[in-house]
Chain A
Amino acid sequence: MSKKISIVLSLMVVFATLLAACGTPQATATESAQPQGEKPAQKVTLRVLVHQNPPMVAFMESFNKQFQERHPEITVDMSVVNANDLSTVSQTRLSANDIDVLDIFGFANAVQPYMKQADPPNWQQLIEAGLLMDLTGQDFVQNYDANAIKDAGTYNGKVYAVNLGRVVYSGIYYNKKLFEQYNVKVPTTWQELVTACEIFKAANIPCMTAGGKDGWPIFVGAYGLLGAIYPDQAALVEGLWTGKIKWNDEKSLEMWRKMQVYARDMMEEGASGIAGDAAPGRFASGAVAMFPGGSWYAPAIEAAQPDFDWGYIPFPGSDNPEDNKYWFGKYDQGWAIAANTPNKDAALLYLKEFSEPANYQAFVDAVGFIPTQPTAKLNTKIGAEIAPYLANFRVGYEQYWVAPKGAGQYANPWASYFKPFGTFDDPVELANKVQEDLQAGLDAVK
C-alpha cells in the first residue's frame, strides 16, 4: 500500500513540475538585456492585462493578431479581468513583476488640499512605489491630446499613462420604435421624462432597465439628476468637504425626491437581477423603453440587435431644458507600462503601434469612446448622438470624490438606497442619513 501511495505521490510531483515548467510565460529576465532601439530578435512574450468590455476585448484580439503577424518574434499573452478586479490584479501582478502592459483607468480621485487625512488613490500609490514606467517624451504620446495626457495620465509633471478616450455616463438610450408607436416626445425635461414613463407603464411596457446586479449602474443611470443640480462637480466635492453643500439641504433634497421616483417608479421590476453587461441585451430586446447608462454600452446594443433603432440623450434631470444639455463622464481606459518590465522594447512598440492613427481610429470605432487623439473622428453612431453637446462635457463627481476616513457607507448620492433596491422610502430620511454618514467622517478628520 505504501508503495502505491509513494508512486502516486511522485507522479503528482512530477506532473506539477511539468505543468509549471511547460506553462510559465516564456518572458524571462534574460531577454531584457536588449540594446535600446534595436528590434528584439529573441522570442518575447508580451503580457498584457485589460478589463472586461466585450467590444474592446474583441478589438484587442484582432489587434494582437495583426501585431504578432508584423512582429513574429513577439507573442502577446493578453489576460482579461472583470473591471472590479482590475486594481487588485494590477497590484499583485505589478508587485510580482508579472505584467508588461496594463490597462489603467484615467487618473482620478486625486487628494485635494482641503481633503484631510485622505489616502492617495491606487494609481498614485503605484507611481510612488516606482511600478509604472515614465513615458514622458515617447513619440506616441505626442499623438494624443495634450490636455487628455495631462488630466488623465500625468503625475508630478511626468507622463505615466496614455488615455484612450472619454466616455459619457449621464445619458439615456431610448427605443425609437416604442417612442413612435406610443407617440411619446423624447424628453428634454424631468417632467417630460416622468410623463413618458407614465405613458409606457400604462401600456404595460417597463420604462427603464439597468444592470442593477452590479450596483453602480443604478447610480450611474441617475447621474443626470446629480448633474442637473450641481453642474460643477469639482465644486460639489469641495463644497461637501468644506460643509458649504450638504446632502440634506433644500437643493439636494430635490435630487433625492427625483431619485426616488427614478428608483421606485421608472426602473423596471427585477432590474436588480440584470448584470451590468447583460443590460444592453435586455434593452436591445425591445421590451423596455429606455436604458439609462454609459456610452460604452452602445457597441453591445448594436451587437445584440443590429437593426434595433435607438437614440441617446442626456438624462433630463432638471425642469429647465437648458440645464439638461450637459454630458458628465470620465476618462476611461488607458495604457501604462510596468516600470520593471523585462520586455521594455516590445512594450513600447506595442503602444506605439496601437497609437498609430489608423489603429487608434479603429479602436475608437469599435468601443465608441470619445477620442483623445485630436486627429481621430467620431464615426460611431453613439459619437453622432453625443456630438451635439460634446462641448459641454464635464468630468463627473465620482471622479473627484474621496470619502473622508470615518465616513459611513451611505455617504454617497446613490439612487439604489431607495426601495426596492435599498431600504429607504422617505427622501428626507435618506438625505439626513447620507449627510450624517458624511458628517461623521468630516468630524473625524477635522
Chain B
Amino acid sequence: MSYHFGRGWSKLTPYLLLLPGLFFYFLISLGPSIATFFFSFTDATGIKGAPVNWIGFDNYREFLFMGRASIDNLDALKRTLIFSFVVTTVQFALGLLVALIVNQKLKFTNIFRTIYFMPVILGVVIQGLMWSLFLYPLGGPMAKLLALFGMRSEFLGGQPAEAFAWVIFVQIWANMGITMMIFIAGLQTIPVELYEAARIDGANAWQVFKNVTWPLLTPSVNTNLLLNAIGSLQAWQLFLVLLGYRNGTQVLGYLIYATGFGQTSGSVTSTFRQGYAAAASIVLFLLVLVIGMTLQTFLQRREKRILG
C-alpha cells in the first residue's frame, strides 16, 4: 500500500515505531515459545547447572502413549475440552442474556452491571476463597441449603466430577461480566433507528432479536467466542485455588505447571521435569491452535456472509 508520510528515510518511521512492540513480542512471547519447543525434546529439569540431554521424541512418546499415565493425560486433555466447551457456551449465552436485559432502559441497570462485573476486579484468588467459603462443607451456606432437601455433599473436596463442575460454575460466575460488557458494547453500536424500523414493521421481540440484534452483534459475538474459547482452554488458576492438583480434575494447563515445577503429587520430594512439561505444553499449543484456527476461520466466514 502506498505510504503518504514522506519519502526516503522518513519512510522508515513506521518500522522504527513498530520495533519496540515487535521486540517485546519476540523476547517475551515467541522466543520463549520456540525455546519451549526445543526443550520438549530434552530431559531438562530446569535446574541451573544440571545437564540437558537431547532425547528426541521420548517426552512425547511418554506423554501420549506410555502406560496408564498417558490415558490419564488424554483424560486431562478431554477434560480441558469439556471445560472449555461448557465455559464458552454457557458464559456466552448467559453473558448475552444478561447484556440484553441490563441494556434496556430500566432503572438501576448500572448497579446490576457493576455487581456482575465485580468478580473480575477482585481477581482469581479472592474468587477462589469466596467460593471455598460458600461451599464450605461443614455447615457452610450451600451445605445448609442442601441439607434442607436432605442432601449433603463434600463439594470441592468430594467426587472429582462434582468438584470439576463447581470449578466450571465459578469460572463462568467470575468471567460472565467481561462477556456481558463486550456484548453491551456491541449492543450500543446498533443504531436505534433499526429497532424502530423493525417495530414499525410489526416485528415481535424475538424477530427483532433474530433479524436486527443478532446479525449486527456479529463483531462482539466473534470477540467473545474467540476470547472465551482460547482463554478457557488455557485457564487453570481456579483449579489451583479451589481444588489443588487432584485426581480426576486436572486440566492440561495445570498438568504442565505441576510437572514442570514438581507439584504433581503434593509431595514435597517430587521431581522437576521441565522437558516433559514442555512437551505437554506443545500438545496444548497444537490443540488450541487447531480449535482456535477452525473457530476463527468459521467466524470470519460467517462475518463476511452477514456483514458483507
Contact = CB atoms under 8 A, between A and B. Distances in A.
Contacts of B139: 270
Contact of B158 (A119, A123, A420): A420
A365 to B, nearest CB: 24
A25 interface: no
A248 to B, nearest CB: 15
Nearest to A339: B49
Contact of B263 (A88, A119, A274, A398): A88
Interface in B15-47: 45-47
Given A125-B45, A269-B152, A88 B261 contact: yes
A281 B181 CA distance: 43
A126 interface: yes
A273 B138 contact: yes
Nearest to B271: A119
Interface string A259-289: 0000000001111111000000000000000
Interface size class for chain A? 35 or more
Given A273-B138, A421-B157, A421-B158, A91 B262 contact: yes
Interface in B211-248: 244, 246-248
Contacts of B137: 269-273
Given A122-B269, A408-B69, A131 B157 contact: no
A177 interface: no
Of A86, A271, A274, A420, which is in contact with the most chain B CB atoms at under 10 Å from its CB? A420
Given A94-B48, A213-B157, A269-B137, A406 B67 contact: yes
Of B62, B139, B269, B272, which is in contact with the most chain A CB atoms at under 10 Å from its CB? B269
Contacts of B268: 51, 83-84, 86-87, 105
B269 A87 contact: yes
A436 B68 contact: yes
Contact of B262 (A94, A122, A272): A122
Given A123-B269, A423-B160, A407 B67 contact: yes
Interface size class for chain B? 35 or more
A212 B157 contact: yes
B140 interface: yes
Interface stretch (A185-193, A223-231, A235-243, A437-445): A437-445
Contact of A129 (B50, B70, B154, B273): B50
Nearest to A414: B247
B253 to A, nearest CB: 16
A72 interface: no
Nearest to A86: B268
B114 interface: no
Contacts of A125: 45, 47, 50, 271-272
A410 interface: yes
Nearest to A123: B269
Given A213-B157, A274-B138, A91 B272 contact: yes
A268 to B, nearest CB: 8
Given A105-B268, A122-B270, A420 B154 contact: yes
A409 B244 contact: no
A120 interface: yes
A88 B155 contact: no
B67 A215 contact: no
A81 to B, nearest CB: 11
Contact of A108 (B152, B248, B269): B269
Given A272-B157, A422-B160, A95 B48 contact: yes
Interface in A390-446: 398-399, 404-411, 417, 419-423, 436-437, 440-441, 443-445
Nearest to B48: A95
A125 B52 CA distance: 12
A436 B71 CA distance: 12
Contact of B247 (A126, A213, A409): A409
Contact of B67 (A85, A270, A405): A405
B266 interface: yes
Contacts of A388: none
Given A270-B137, A406-B69, A126 B263 contact: no
A121 interface: yes
Of B136, B262, B266, which is in contact with the most chain A CB atoms at under 10 Å from its CB? B262
A124 B193 CA distance: 72
A129 B271 CA distance: 13
A322 B299 CA distance: 71
A437 to B, nearest CB: 5
B70 to A, nearest CB: 7
Contacts of A419: 159
B161 interface: yes
B72 interface: yes
A273 B156 contact: yes
Contact of A441 (B69, B152, B158, B263): B69
A422 to B, nearest CB: 7
Given A105-B268, A215-B244, A409-B247, A126 B69 contact: no
B266 A273 contact: no
A128 interface: yes
Given A121-B271, A440-B67, A273 B50 contact: no
A87 B270 contact: yes
A242 B254 CA distance: 32
B110 interface: no
A213 B245 CA distance: 11
Contacts of B297: none
A216 B263 CA distance: 13
A44 B17 CA distance: 45
A214 interface: yes
Nearest to A106: B269
A273 B155 contact: yes
B126 interface: no
A130 interface: yes
A34 interface: no
B272 A270 contact: no
B154 A272 contact: yes
Nearest to A96: B48
A415 B267 CA distance: 16
B93 interface: no
B82 interface: no
A84 B264 CA distance: 10
A409 B268 CA distance: 17
A440 B159 contact: no
18 contacts: A83-B268, A87-B270, A108-B269, A130-B49, A215-B244, A270-B137, A271-B157, A272-B154, A404-B67, A405-B62, A406-B68, A409-B247, A411-B68, A420-B153, A420-B154, A420-B159, A441-B68, A444-B66
Given A108-B269, A213-B244, 14 more contacts: A87-B269, A87-B272, A91-B272, A121-B271, A122-B269, A126-B47, A129-B45, A131-B47, A212-B154, A272-B137, A398-B267, A411-B68, A440-B69, A441-B68
